[in-house]
Structure 1
Amino acid sequence: MPRTLITGGAGFLGSHMCDRLIAEGHQVICVDNLLTGRKENINHLLDNPCFTFIEHNIIEPLEINGNINFILHFASPASPKDYMKHPIETMKIGAWGTYNMLELAREKGATFLLASTSEVYGDPQVHPQPESYWGYVNPIGPRSVYDEAKRYAEALTMAFHRKYGLDIRIARIFNTYGPRMRMNDGRVISNFIVQALRGKPITVYGDGSQTRSFCYVEDLIEGIYRLLLWQAPPASKAQNLKPKTQHLEPSTQALMPVFNLGNPEEHTILQLANLVKEITASKSEIIFEPLPVDDPKRRCPDISRARNLLGWSPITDLRTGLQYTIEYFKELENEQTGRNHA
């Protein structure tokens, strides 16, 4: 039975990953300091003999007895609302937290998977974004605490790979949504759904023409699990899979285990707002506010490598995924209403 440690395991994505690992026969060690993660996300696993929860802040070293086969590093505030509220903590997790988990992986001889982000591309000038694109990031803007923390985490992960031969994977995760998102996490889909269900104005920033690609959480978890088990192809085959880019690539770039994971179907934010309004049958009006600083105009992954090397692509369309997510939020609203009336 593989023994797998996951940081940020009580978070939105991390808790779904815990479920998948348990289902695949892993013994799971979930580590989370509950800064943005929630115990409710893993309550159903606490009595499972294959699951262990450790409340710990990974900016401090972590000692684990016994072997570990895989370490999945998901820990970090991930929504703009969270990482702007916790800017120093976000950078510490990206730096010290990543270092501590890489050292643990080196000590145990474990495969290390970094949950990175499309934010490493910043406000991209290339569409769609291939893994070889270096990004267009403001290093001192308000979003930089997350962008640069993840860029540093990727660089540190690659340094451990090059210096120590550590077996690594880097998943650049694009916008993901689904059950277990927090109602107040500040992300666009949760914001729109909550506003629509409560009959409040749906707030669109800018004119709504900026685009995002939205991947349903179950699809993303499938991609991450496939990446975890992936083995590098022969060099000759990998060279044929290099995406086109304006940058010259290092000779080993095609072999590096960096993968975009997301849905390549672009939607404008205004389209999303109207779709949420339609599905919820909400009478909310759509209002427009100024666009936040450094908010990307377009964001869309090139998932050619994931398709070719992992055999993965998302299968859940936006309408279906939103319907599942809206039902989850309705349950949360009903629970909250019940508590308020108790």
Structure 2
Amino acid sequence: MTQPQGAHLVGSVNYDDAETTMRTASAILGRRLRRLPDGEVGTRFHWIMFQPDVLGQAEGIERVGDEPIPFRAGIDARPLRIAQGTDAAGIRLPALGYASAAIDSYVVFSRLRAAGELAEGARFQVSLPTPLAVISSFFSGDDRAAIEPVYTAAILGEVDEILAAIPHDDLAIQWDVASEMGIIERAAGYGKVIEAWWPGDAFDGLVSRLAALVDAVPADVEVGVHLCYGDAGEKHFVEPTDAANLVRYANAVTAASARDLTWLHLPVPIERDDEAYFAPLAGLSYDGELYLGLVHREDGVQGAERRIAAARPFTPEFGVATECGIGRAPAGTTEDILRTHAELAATW
């Protein structure tokens, strides 16, 4: 079997610090990787779960409930609401934490590169949640529409800060897109069906929002999209019937975006090594870097090779990835997962 071209790390990696993540990934995967993430270490380890603790500091935003809801790493998972009588347009959010983390990790990236410990030509990858993920997860009712422009402006402000601090030819930005797939699939997330809050067709709103985020990244910076079905306890919030909704959404977003997408990542459930899952990929209108998330720690190289064989009739050129980040994988499994990528993928 001809090897897939290259590998992609979605974002989170199960190490405690950015240096270990980048050094280990580069040592094992080398020139198979065009981009290196920092592993989403620290408070970002559990994706967006730290954002309520950040947003709850803003005047005009309250936590729902009197008692904290303990989450891992000391996080309080209580949802949020706009305080009664508060004009959401006047709320000033604190720094969200994404820009400062990226800037700190880029210092590590630069030092390791200067020491010759990173693959030549690799860019520094910053993975960011879409505003919709945070809003749909932690706000309810009319508060969602009210806070959306405020939070969107804040996350784009973080992007601007990253763009100002990191040379553009070193940078790659990935938008992590999970809750959007939940709306498309009418799935339950955080105990309730994930629903749109804007008038008109929900799908059209999802397309326009993600296309605007893609276009917010300048043309001299790489931009990617990771479509996702969640990763709570290594489980999806819903199992897709096939790749049809992924393809439909990706096609619509790339058509609506003013700039080209550098890479696209699509997940593949572990149970799906049948051609029926992959058949919709024949209709994917995209010719950039495509990565299929068909690597799973539970069945390693053999399972991934079955899924590669099933995908090839419909999309012969693609690289490999896991279906989501590997930050929540069991301790001690990370290097084996990285080696599986290396065994499956050719260098660029």
What's the TM-score, normalizing by structure 2? 0.37
What's the TM-score, normalizing by structure 1? 0.37
